Structure 1
Amino acid sequence: MSSSSLTVQKLSKRYGEFVALAETDLTVAEGEFLTLLGPSGSGKTTLLSLVAGLARPDGGAVLIGTDEVTYSAPHLRDIGVVFQNYALFPHMTILENIAFPLKMRKVQAEEARRRAQEALEMIRLPHIAQRYPKELSGGQQQRVALARCMVYRPSIILMDEPLGALDKKLREHMQLEIKRIHRELGATIVYVTHDQEEAMTMSDRICLMNSGRIEQLGTPGDLYFRPQTLFVADFLGESNLLPAKVEAIAGDEIALAIGSRAVKARALADGKVSTGDTIHIMIRPQNLSIELAKDGDDDRLGATVTDVMVTGSLTKVYMKASDEELPDLLAAFPTRASGQTFRIGNVVALSWHGTDAVAITGNAGA
């Protein structure tokens, strides 16, 4: 299967006064797996629809490779689309369903049958060729929908929440299957989801969207460990977001005073901060060290445990900060049969390594 790059230039879409997609620039490399992530109404499905040709933009351009396809009909774009609803024809066998796009493209019957069987081999379901959709599980139907998309070898595959109707275990299995198929085909895939874990698991890069705009674009690690705005830090995973004042700068590390008690701390910054700035810092729960408070802990954040939850592999400790200016806090650590336990009402002291805290100066979406 050949793959192509995808370029979006100042693409936009409005519905009356509502801005579904503000002017947007985006480039997806050939063979890349890019996920469009965001809450409902963030613009991710609108962007996918404009790329697929299922909606007409108000401005901008869509290029597949070097060919502009902004106003081309969907079937002329060399794009395959997989939707959440499988849209299989109930009166056709699975082999006929998969071969149908080739029939529409006037591929000879014997060649269409051969390629449809190859696609079934790719999704590891060669034995179901003569069954009908009603005889398959949801996961099998979704794999068939993927095979039907792949069979005519589009240069770009678009997926709109394709696993949304599956249960958690099957969803995780299908994530691995799609990643495997992506590796084997080398296809360019643009994938839409609102599921953070799915985006983190599957993507080469994530395009996080909010209110019709790109909030941040980067690798899963970029967005998780170095969020650029409060929205990104808050949306992607659990986080502690603390207001702080910059007291000094040394390279990419800054010294801070946190809250009304001016607790001293350190964090990483990206060079966009100045001494005296009021910012936020983000510490992920697993990077927050927690101990029962003792004398001499005045240099650490103090808090009172309000709840403890054992989720299985992780234990989560919820806390109310002693400083009323600070938000509630969360620490997480691996669950162990022995070791420190915490109970509701415990007074604790919190700390972290400076390299595990990140300064956030952007406020978009907050």
Structure 2
Amino acid sequence: MSASNLQIAGLSKRYGDFVALAPTSLDVAEGEFLTLLGPSGSGKTTLLSLIAGLALPDEGQIRINGVDVTYGAPYERDIGMVFQNYALFPHMTVAQNIAFPLQMRKTDAKATQDKVMQALEMVHLPHVAQRYPRELSGGQQQRIALARCMVYRPSIILMDEPLGALDKKLRDHMQLEIKRIHRELGTTIVYVTHDQEEAMTMSDRICLMNAGSIAQLGTPADLYFRPNSVFVADFLGESNLLDAVVTGRAGDQVQISVQGVAKGEAMAYDPVIANGKPVKLMLRPQNLRVHDSASADSDSSNGGSLSAKLTDIMVTGSMTKLYLEPHTANAAPLVAAFPTNRFGSQYEVGQTLGLSWLAADAVAIAG
């Protein structure tokens, strides 16, 4: 990974007795796309505000390109900011909006005009230069906000839920546009969202936050396939979490007993998980294999198996979901998922089905 151009060390923020951000340390590499993800009140917007200089920390340090900017004004930080509400000046044309940050930096007129047109070309909107924001669609306004932010080429661009006001189809399109611009510019982006799919799609790394602290930091694949806590497993994507007990261990793989009935194997990345320790067994819906027979016994290729009663079927479009109740006392309901096909589901509500999984697709999580 490239050298860091954003370094955060021990940064914290309180509002009275409320801890908005516990002491937090984080390095962001030059050119990286880092997403701050988490539920409301997790601290992601507080952290972004501190980086932007819109709030001051109680303790800690922020360094941008090696310079301490902890208590510096926003304009001293070499950052750009894109907001959810676009924040375009309604009385200015598109070209004037984009030119504004250059004029504040006293860039000469010819260079300003050239940079404005370059920025409009970057967002594929050179034909709207003389229009006003009210004459543009929401997606066009958001692209103009991006152009205004990047026209002076800040080393870091901060984005605070920039796609939250758009409909799903337009939001999906803008995700691709932002990723394209990021690749072309190579600028560091710190992006705040509560949308898990958006974070998974766009990020080089995800910083998942909870209760003012970092719950897990890693690539989308790290967080999805190797969650380090029940919170991470439950928050990111859909998951089945079963109560289990570890009965043996060999390296990263453990033997488990689920509710004392289903036995099998799973991956365990936490070194403190030992024999006899209660764990949560995480199984993603698409990793549950469904069998017509209730006796889907574990074999050498399976990580485990159990039987369950089918209670509902839901076709969500590209995926079909089966909702099931395990034949185990007090076990939580399960969801299995597979690609929808034109023949429809061959299963019926009330049917008893067998479920199995591969050890590599199951994760035992301390908790």
TM category, shorter: over 0.9
Q: 1:161 to 1:147 in 2, by over 3 A?
A: same
Q: Are 1:114 and 2:119 matched, yes or no?
A: no
Aligned to 2:50: 50
5 Å matches for 1:114-263? 114-261=114-261, 263=262
Contact preservation (8 Å) 1:4, 1:188? no
Q: 1:339 to 1:354 in 2, by over 3 A?
A: farther
Aligned to 1:320: 325
* CA displacement at 1:338 relative to structure 2: 3.5
Aligned to 1:351: 356
SS at match of 1:300: strand
The separation in 1 between residues aligned to 2:83 and 2:322, in whole angstroms, is 39
The separation in 2 between residues aligned to 1:232 and 1:198, in whole angstroms, is 16
Structure 2 counterpart of 1:132, one-letter code: Y
Aligned to 1:289: 289
Structure 1 counterpart of 2:326, one-letter code: A
* CA displacement at 1:275 relative to structure 2: 1.2
Aligned to 1:267: 266
Segments of 5+ residues of structure 2 without an aligned counterpart are: 299-303
Q: 1:122 to 1:302 in 2, by over 3 A?
A: same
Contact preservation (8 Å) 1:4, 1:155? no
Structure 1 counterpart of 2:342, one-letter code: A
Q: Which moved more, 1:213-222 or 1:268-277?
A: 268-277
5 Å matches for 1:22-101? 22-101=22-101
Contact preservation (8 Å) 1:260, 1:325? no
Runs of 4+ residues deviating >4 angstroms: 294-299
* CA-to-aligned-CA distance 1:208-246 (integer Å, 9 cap, x gap): 000000000000000000000000000000001111111
* CA-to-aligned-CA distance 1:18-37 (integer Å, 9 cap, x gap): 10000000000000000000
Identity %: 64
TM value normalised by structure 1: 0.95
Contact preservation (8 Å) 1:4, 1:156? no
* CA displacement at 1:325 relative to structure 2: 2.6
Structure 2 counterpart of 1:219, one-letter code: T
Structure 2 counterpart of 1:315, one-letter code: T
Structure 1 counterpart of 2:64, one-letter code: I
The separation in 2 between residues aligned to 1:319 and 1:295, in whole angstroms, is 15
Structure 2 counterpart of 1:228, one-letter code: N
Structure 2 counterpart of 1:65, one-letter code: N
Root-mean-square deviation over aligned CA pairs? 1.5
Q: 1:339 to 1:105 in 2, by over 3 A?
A: closer
* CA displacement at 1:260 relative to structure 2: 3.5
The separation in 2 between residues aligned to 1:352 and 1:4, in whole angstroms, is 40
Structure 1 counterpart of 2:267, one-letter code: L
The separation in 1 between residues aligned to 2:260 and 2:252, in whole angstroms, is 25
The separation in 2 between residues aligned to 1:222 and 1:100, in whole angstroms, is 41
* CA-to-aligned-CA distance 1:92-124 (integer Å, 9 cap, x gap): 110000000011111112211111111001101
Q: Which moved more, 1:214-223 or 1:299-308?
A: 299-308
Q: How many residues align?
A: 359
Structure 2 counterpart of 1:358, one-letter code: V
Q: 1:4 to 1:121 in 2, by over 3 A?
A: farther
SS at match of 2:40: coil
